Structure 1
Amino acid sequence: MKRTIEKLENEFETFQILNEDGEVVNADAMPDLSDEDLQELMRRMVYARILDQRSIALNRQGRLGFYAPTAGQEASQLGSHFAMEKEDFLLPGYRDVPQLIFHGLPLYQAFLFSRGHFHGNQMDNVNAVSPQIIIGAQITQTAGVALGMKKRGKQNVALTYTGDGGASQGDFYEGMNFAGAFKAPAIFVVQNNRYAISVPVEKQSAAKTVAQKAVAAGIEGIQVDGMDVLAVYTATKEARERAINGEGPTLIETLTYRYGPHTMAGDDPTRYRTEDDENEWSKKDPLIRFRKFLENKGLWSEEKENEVIESAKEEIKAAIKKADEQPKQTVTDLISIMHEELPANLKEQMEEYKEKESK
């Protein structure tokens, strides 16, 4: 049995296209993307990095609520999302706000989500649900959404994200097993950023990879260099094609790293990460890697990047201003949107809070 497991684990080699220096090391796997597509991928990653920096600052100023930093995971998040179509369904985790924004959620609503305002959770004309806070719960939801798409005959997929910690939850196995049994068009992306809050991935599971857990569910599994945006895009694109062709779901493990704390709610990563670990991963920065690749092709420059940075700052400034202008949330607001017809107990509470709020 030990030899069988070792043989299985060795089959899950890390898929990569660009090395740390932005050099192509797997030319046969290069995706068919235009120069404009490549530039747009870089623009999105730079935008997300600036959004992360500004969101951290806004959180410290008390202008945002819950926030989970994203720096370091841009290639994993946006490379995978770039392979999605607008009609595909997105089920994000709490760190996956950048994908939600590029899927169509207005930025000011993303800020309202952080503040706990109900309008930030209203996905009008966006094929998505609010970022899931419960670890791993989105996996079972994705299986259901994907099965619904299959039953309706849609040529679309449901794509979800969780972290390595989510892969340790019961919902993770149940969702994959269900989706595999029904060959539902689902893509499960596990962003292995090494630490589930503070627990190293090596202490979460005896498995050498997260990707190998696909075997037990009878579905495709692949481990990808999550700091390589082209590798992530290619793996997701191929998973999507298999799904809409009726070949079932795929588990994608992206090896990535979050440069900041788990969330801004008091986490101190210096207590469980070493300086050597952080230095090693800083050399793998997805923006630096892809920037070098584009510069060598004559597709990117410092001037172009500065334009993206300034544009992002202006958009963020306008969005937080719009979020500030939204009416403050009240208890009666929440009660009024909970049911089409309020049950007796909520009718009583509605009257009680109407009286309180009128004073």
Structure 2
Amino acid sequence: MTIRKALLSAAILGSTFGTAAQAEEVNVYSFRQEFLLKPLLEAFTADTGIKVNVVFANKGLLERIEHEGRNTPADLLLTADIGPLYDAVERDLVVPIKSDVIERNVPAHFRAEDGKWVGLTSRARIIYASKERVKEGEITRYEDLADPKWKGRICTRSGKHTYNLSLIGSMIAHHGEAETEKWLMAVKENLARKPQGNDRSQVKAIKEGVCDLALGNSYYYGKMATNEKQPEQKEWAASANLVFPNQDDRGTHMNISGAALTKYAPHPEAAVKLVEYLTQKSAQELYAQANFEFPVRPNTPWSELLEEKMSGFKGDEINLGKVAAERAAAAKMVDKVGFDN
């Protein structure tokens, strides 16, 4: 981004957010979709009187904060994945969130050890398995995806996608690079087709008989199973069993949506209040219901569908900071083994 564009961006955002002199407001840059956040932010304003201004974008928010520097209007960064949170820390764009409320509400493995990011919801990276062609208990671990018995039977999206980079990063964190590289090469040899599409299209491929196993996030099951606008997705979901890997050892790989406080936040106190609000029980329930995600706050009710289909599984409790630290190595590994080729 050129300096001219950065200044223009700052001017536009200043107009969007108004002046920083307003005490009771908080400005948010969000990678998360508007429909997920709007009900929560409106409830926060109704309860606290603090106005929330939001810029939604699919990409470029870290670069925007970087270029705005001390003049950024952004107080909070909200993300749909651990990756951007870790990148924000690496770029020195955020500072620790200090709050006893958040520490009580969010388990330690869903918070940065130095307080520079906080998880708001979680999801599992699961294996979707054909009900017709995969017997129950036939696959139980991520490591099993490397078994030659699955040759030509696995579908996945790009290895470079942020969800898969986090999964591979977790494998590196647990097994080291050398062992993980052997595993990834073996998984590549078992692919039914070149990595492509999104998580839902992998489940569709199971329904169509293209493959028997697929990697996907847990919340996509809920999105497909309740999709009235595209009812064929209900059939995709119904074609697969849900496998939560590694229940007999470390547990299933988890990821988060999360928040971070920007280094030059104009309204840091209001921003922390918003994060505290998003970790309280009522907001956690609403958050989870809207997107079929799991609340990070313990003992918060799940959606009825998730309670029926997914309750009782064990999630990996490794701190996600350790997983995110391996994402760069994971990306290099994807290229090295030619996973997407």
Higher relative contact order, structure no. (Cα contacts within 8 Å, ≥ 6 residues apart) = 2
TM-score, normalised to structure 1's length? 0.27
TM-score, normalised to structure 2's length? 0.28
Greater helix share, structure number? 1
Greater strand share, structure number? 2
